[in-house]
Structure formats: C-alpha cells, structure tokens
Amino acid sequence: MAKHPQYKEWEEKTLGKALQKMPERKAEFKTVGGLQLPRLALPKEIDAEYIQKLGFPGEYPFTRGVQPSMYRSRLWTMRQYAGFSTAAETNKRYRYLLEQGQTGLSVAFDLPTQIGYDSDHQMSRGEVGKVGVAIDSLADMEVLFDQIPLGEVSTSMTINSPAAVLLAMYVALGEKQGVDREKMRGTLQNDVLKEYVARGTFIYPPRPSLRIITDIFEWCGQNTPSFNTISISGYHIREAGSTAVQEVAFTLANGISYVQAALEAGLDVDVFGKRLSFFFGATTDIMEEVAKFRAARRMWASIMRDRFQAQNPRSWMLRFHTQTAGHTLTAQQIDNNVVRVTLQALSAVLGGTQSLHTNSKDEALTLPTEESVRTALRTQQVIAHESGVPDSIDPLGGSYLLEELTDRIESEAWELMQKIEDMGGVIPAIEQGFIQRHIDDAAYTYQQEVENKERIMVGVNEFKSQEEVKVPLLRIDPEVERAQVAQVQKVRSERDEQEVERSLAALREAAQGEDNLMPPILEAVKQYATIGEICDVMREVFGIHEE
C-alpha cells in the first residue's frame, strides 16, 4: 500500500527523530510467533477527517498519543504510590520498591499533613501516619529521602492545599544534597479545586488557593523548570462516583480555571503550559477507559491551542499519570482484585499513560504489605515485557467501537463543560453545588445497579464464597504517633526561634500583599518552621473554607 504523504512526512520527520533516541528498545518488533508488527496501524485510506480527528502520534490533536514512538522508545514510569507510619519506615519501602524495579517515587502523606496540621495538634489525634507518612518539618523530609539522590529520581507528591510547603521542603532537601534546582524532576498534585467537590482536604477558600497555585507556577518556571507544577486530578472525582464523561469534563474544566488564573496573574501560557500534567483513574471497562484518555487528549489540545492561543506544541499535550480504581477493589475474595488491577492497568497502557500506579489486592482491608505491593508492581512489568501491547503505537486505534466511544465521550464532555461555562466557571459551579450533585447522582446510580444486580461484582453480588478470607494486615502501631509528636517537639526545641519568627513574619507580609509566596515559604522551611506553623500564617490571612 502506498503511504499517504502526511503519514510519510510524520514517519520521516517526527518519528524519525524519536527513533534516533532509542538506546534501550529496538525500533522493530515481532509477535511471539514471528510476525512483524507495524509501528503504527493505519486504515487503507487516510482522509482529511482522519487527519483532523486522529492525526499522528506526537502531533496535534494527540488522539493517538503525545509521543511519536510512545512505548517503543521508552516505557511509562512505574510509580507506585506509597507512604505510611514514619518517614523512616516509608524510606525503607521506597528503597525496596526501587530495588524491585520501580522507576519513580510517589509520596502518600497522612491526613494531618494534607490539611496543614502538625502531628501534635489536637486535630491530628488518631490520624498520624495512618493513610500516609507524617511530615512536619524539613527534618522529616531529610529522613524520608535518606540515601535517595533527588537528582536521579522523579518524585510525585500527592499534596494539595499545603503543596507549596512540601515543594519548598523538597527543594530545600535537594539543595542540601547538592542537586541543581533545574535538575529536580517530579510532579506536584497541587489541584485544590477537586478537593472542594470530591476529596475534602482543603484549607483556604478557592480564590486565595488559586493565588498560591499560580505563585507555584511562576516560581517553578523560574527555578525548577523540569518539575510538573500541577497534576490536575480526575482520579478523585472518579473515586467519588463520577462517570467517565464527568471525570473528563470536570477535570478539564478545572484545568481551564488554572490556566485562566495563571494568565490573569501575568504568566506566559507557553512557560507554565508545558508543565501542566493530569491524573486519571482507570476502571475495569477497558474500551471506555481507553476512549476516555484519547478524548481528553484531543480536547485539551484544542483548549490550549485554540482557546488560550498557546504556540508551543508541548503546551497542547495532555500528559497524565494513571492509578487503578480503588473503589473497584473488594474485601471479598481479594485475589480477584489482582485480575481487576491487571485489566485496569492494561486500559491505562492501551490509552497511552505516561506513568502508572497499580493498586495492591489488599487495599480494601488494610495498608498494602510488601508482598502485595510487589505483586502490583510485577503486574506492570508483565504488561510491559510480556504482553506485546507496548510494541505498537496506539494498538487499538481505528477500532470502530473505540472511535465511536471516543467521539461520544468528547461530545458529552463538551456539553457538560459548556453548562459550567454558562454558570461563570468552576468556582461558581462549586459554590452552587452543581458539580457535587452530578457526582453524587452518578455514585447513587452505580450503587443501585450493584444492589439490583444490574451490574455484577464478582464475589460481592454474584459468585460468592463462604470461605473466610485470611489476610495479613499491616497495622500502624500507636507508638508511631507518640514518636512523631516527640520528634516535632524536638525540632522546635533545637532550632533558632528568632529566625523562625522572622521568616514567618516575612511570609505573613507577603500573604497580605501581592508578592510571590514561594520565597518566604522556602526560607521558613529552611529554618525548620513546621507545616502547621506555615499554614497557620496563611489561615490567619486567607481564612478557611467551609462547605
């Protein structure tokens, strides 16, 4: 078959450059049976509609992937989300995962850290180290990344309202390790808007929260250009009960709000735009999930290029991390969860994710054990090295079903986003409860379908077993909280209190004015001011959000 001129141009220029950068993986691939795989499967005829809707990988509108060679040149980052107990215990888990072949770190913080309280605050009682690691000051961060060179790994941090504080701690630690700021790589979740509708770990009202976020955009653009400044998160929206269409619509609507806020602050869309990233969930419905990822890429490319007039193609790319769906894990017959996670991980890979976390089978009951974490990581490695799926670019592209679903998700998501626009944007939609109602209604419908057996959950409402499930449970010793409280009080007793007060006063002055908040936060962190003390200054100035 003769090659279409635009395909030939893509193959020679865009793909050709990518193939020159393939030291770790071969340019040509074969099936187990020896059949040569095409680099990119194409229809027999390529017309203008095909070019407009699908295009080619690495080119607008990125329906078929943000990189021209996708996993042929580099596999996705295997980034297992982990954090529990103390910084020392979590450090052991990180080093274990790196030894097992993990290629990136992802930090889970405990609830007090997520809402900006120190471990000895009365609001923290009973929650220290439970759902993540407790980080009170730079001293904890030093332990968390002990013997882990920050210049050689990329780190994702799932932190939102106090994101500026944790970023400052990470940068301060990198400087102590002698790492050039420009070489520090990672992702800050930093997505506060979804907290108001889906997750709840907010501190300040929406408008000052947007100011903090844009300050991070500006500061990172000048100081840590390789750090992704936000991970606009659909994952928690989906976990709260939304549909795939709602996940796309609400996530991209939040993204529009962040871009608008940054532009209003005078930032260059082609500076901060290329460091935006996204975070989606992956459920067991493989075809819908793959279509969702492809639709979201196509929509975001249009938003950035046509609505916000970004000129750099890197600013048009929707790059995303995926986590398998926690809400689908069951306490009944937990080995079934390994199968669910495998299908969900496969959907993320088929959809073109840039990094992936696979949940462990026991997470419906407990924090995951080392054994179950290893199995979750091995799931990704089997898909990467044994399934053959990464060997072709966008392997499902062109499927009649997939393309129909992609178009449907895109169309319905645009309609829902228009309703938000008509209300004046995301913040008015949040204040009026519009987004929350949609998510609640979808969650209720899903649960009704399960209870009425319209949706089968194996081991839950069908194919049940009377066998007692015996699972080793990882429990957090109550001594962890006592030790962490003692640690934060020790830090306070040993630091220079006058320098701490000076740095917090500078932060208060900046918050009351219009100066960027990152420099005074970084200075306060270096003086071992705690996360609670820093957030309390901003609570005092900005107030707190109440639903």
**Domain containing residue 89: CATH number:** 3.20.20.240
Q: Measured at the alpha carbon of residue 72, what is the angle toward residues 105 and 381, in degrees to the nearest 5?
A: 45
pLDDT of residue 32: 87
Whether omega before 61 lies within 30 degrees of 0, making that bond cis, reads yes
Please state the length of the chain: 547
**In the chain, pLDDT over 70 holds for what percent of residues?**
96
156: helix, strand or coil: strand
Residue whose token pair is 């492809």 = 294
Residue 4 lies in a domain: no
The separation between CA 314 and the C-alpha centre of its own chain, rounded to angstroms, equals: 18
Alpha-carbon gap, residue 323 to 342, rounded angstroms: 12
pLDDT of residue 468: 63
311: helix, strand or coil: coil
Alpha-carbon gap, residue 200 to 180, rounded angstroms: 35
pLDDT of residue 1: 42
pLDDT of residue 2: 52
Whether omega before 162 lies within 30 degrees of 0, making that bond cis, reads no
Alpha-carbon gap, residue 426 to 458, rounded angstroms: 37
pLDDT of residue 27: 58
Written as one string, the DSSP assignment of 448-464 is: HHHHTTSS--BTTTBS-
Residue 321 parent element (H or E): strand 320-324
Given a contact cutoff of 8 angstroms between Cβ atoms, the answer to whether 377 and 338 are in contact is no
Alpha-carbon gap, residue 540 to 503, rounded angstroms: 16
Residue 329 lies in a domain: yes
384-442: pLDDT as tens digits:
999 999 999 999 999 999 999 999 999 999 999 999 999 999 999 999 999 999 999 99
Given a contact cutoff of 8 angstroms between Cβ atoms, the answer to whether 484 and 128 are in contact is yes
**In the chain, pLDDT over 90 holds for what percent of residues?**
82
pLDDT of residue 22: 59
Amino acid at residue number 193: L
Closest CA to 126 of 108, 112, 115: 112
Closest CA to 316 of 328, 302, 335: 302
244-299: pLDDT as tens digits:
999 999 999 999 999 999 999 999 999 999 999 999 999 999 999 999 999 999 99
SS (H, E, C) 242-310: CCHHHHHHHHHHHHHHHHHHHHHCCCCHHHHHHHEEEEEEECCCHHHHHHHHHHHHHHHHHHHHHHCCC
Determine whether 178 is exposed, middle or buried from the number of CB atoms within 10 Å of its CB (0-12, 13-18, 19+).
exposed
DSSP state, residue 424: T
78: helix, strand or coil: strand
Alpha-carbon gap, residue 107 to 84, rounded angstroms: 9
Residue 25: pLDDT over 60: no
Residue 23: pLDDT over 60: no
Residue 195 lies in a domain: yes
Going by pLDDT thresholds of 50, 70 and 90, the confidence category of residue 42 is: confident
Q: In what order do the strands lie in the sheet with 230-233?
A: 227-228, 185-188, 154-158, 104-108, 77-82, 355-357, 320-324, 276-282, 230-233
Question: What is the extent of the structural domain holding 423?
Answer: 70-386+394-451
420: helix, strand or coil: helix
106: helix, strand or coil: strand
DSSP state, residue 110: P
The structural domain count of the chain equals: 1
Written as one string, the DSSP assignment of 161-215 is: TTHHHHHHHHHHHHHHTT--GGG-EEEE----HHIIIII----S-HHHHHHHHHH
Residue 101 lies in a domain: yes
Residue 123 lies in a domain: yes
Residue whose token pair is 């959907």 = 347
Given a contact cutoff of 8 angstroms between Cβ atoms, the answer to whether 530 and 137 are in contact is yes
